[in-house]
Structure 1
């Protein structure tokens, strides 16, 4: 998921500023809520042990002294000193952020490694965020800058020009069978991912790669189908799946066909959010509701 065409510099500054104001708001709100809870639940202990609850280096403004997570601190510095913006708009990011606020720390799988990857890792602090990227040289470049990111190289054997053919293949019965993608008989299923990718039950999956904006590009046909199959094949619960760039034909058609309009929760410009339940907990559940 390489960087896409950038906005004019003034818009960049505005977007970056708004993004970090929003992050700081969340941090302050969290700390304020935490301090309120402590002050209401154990007032006598706090007053009797003020020396213990307020470490030497902490100001006596709140009952406790807390720090932001290292991943968030790293992200703040990284984006404050970077002259490019995240690859999604603030409104698009906010859709995924709402889910992360409820589910994190969680397992978050992202198709694509890009300028926004450190942001997603920071927002899922304490969870596991994994990136799947088609371009090995891009992985090497990003890992030199941010070695803490967990990413894997993926080889795709499709082309955007095959999209119509693959959409027809996806309508066949073998592609409606819910199973581990490694053992699926559907041509659309990605079978060459690292084994642990299949073994983990992902709480969130975002499809923002591979490249799909020209005919010779791999396209996101298999990534979208596999994301839906992983979500259906989890033992129980549900998976939130996000698809970016749904203004394009492939992302539009394949997300509707394999993530299903009946599972569509909301859309913000180019981002669609689907919530897909486990199909293993109720036998006979149709592929799409």
Structure 2
């Protein structure tokens, strides 16, 4: 009795086991075939190549410069080449130049007027990239020479009636009421005022003015008396705001005395070597403001 009852149970377990094994084989085969079909399909064939090609395109985008890439402006590139290959150094030292550069860093692009056209002119124009830099020069032949090398520089010829040996008498004349009253220098009766500059120079509001000319190292040279005085009056005559004025070669008597007298020691911000920096406010908004603080 017991042997008969166990047999059907063992047979039943065996059948169930066989069915379970066949089920596992069926599931495994179906999964394998499905995976094989997917890998052999056109879509599957493009998955990896597409990912690789997309990555390659992205690398190309990074390594290749697009048409909108920023490039060095031609004027800056020209200045880099010029100063890296030239054996002639600018008249100002690195520390002196840094004083004006700090102001340009804040104000540029701006209107920058420079008395003098020299070996540093391309540098000043480049530091004021996007702004307007104008050079006033006494030597016509020198202007033509520089124009051939750097045609983008804006420069004008200026004549001076004064001489260094007249500095003392001009200093006395500058103390008169006609020289200390604020107004346009081209209409001024002051002996120190420069009246023959291009009209545009008088009509432009200058943010920075650099006085590094005319020649002033011998008695018959024109000297910088009128240039210093005119720079100061242009600053005072603006409608509002302030003008940064720089005077180079203040180790010389004329530059020293005239900058202190007409740009005012009270407006001086800094001296570095032979360079003085003055910041002169508009006097138009307050006619009662003293000539010097």
Same fold (TM over 0.5): yes
Matched, 1:221 2:221: no
5+ residue gaps, structure 2: 1-56
| The one of 241, 249, 254 aligned to 1:250 | 254
Task: Assess if the C-alpha contact under 8 Å between 1:188 and 1:222 holds in 2.
Answer: yes
For 2:181, which of 177, 182, 186 is the aligned residue? 177
Counterpart Cα distance in 1 of 2:98 and 2:64 = 35
Q: Would you say 1:267 and 2:263 are equivalent positions? A: no
Provide the residue aligned with 1:233 in structure 2: 237
Which has the higher mean CA deviation after the structures are superposed, 80-89 or 251-260?
Answer: 80-89
What is the CA-CA distance between 1:58 and the residue it aligns to?
2.5
Distance 1:201 1:236 in 2: 10
Deviation at 1:65, TM superposition (A): 4.1
Counterpart position of 2:65:
58
Going by fraction, where is helix more abundant, 1 or 2? 2
RMSD: 1.6
State the Cα distance separating 1:69 from its structure 2 match.
Answer: 2.4
User: How many residues are aligned here?
Assistant: 234
Q: Which runs of 5+ in 1 are unaligned?
A: 1-49
Normalised by the size of structure 2, how large is the TM-score? 0.77
Measure how far apart 1:283 and its partner are. 2.3
Post-superposition Cα deviations, 1:106-151, rounded to whole Å, max 9, x if no partner, equal 0000000000000000000000000000000110111111111000
CA distance in 2, matches of 1:262, 1:98: 21
Give every structure 1 segment of 4 or more consecutive aligned residues whose post-TM-superposition deviation is greater than 3 Å. 54-57
Choose from 107, 114, 136 the match for 1:103: 107
Per-residue deviation at 1:89? 0.3
TM-score normalised per structure 1: 0.79
Please list, as runs of the form range in 1=range in 2, the aligned pairs for 1:106-117 lying within 5 A after superposition.
106-117=110-121
Q: Distance in 2 between matches of 1:134 and 1:251?
A: 17
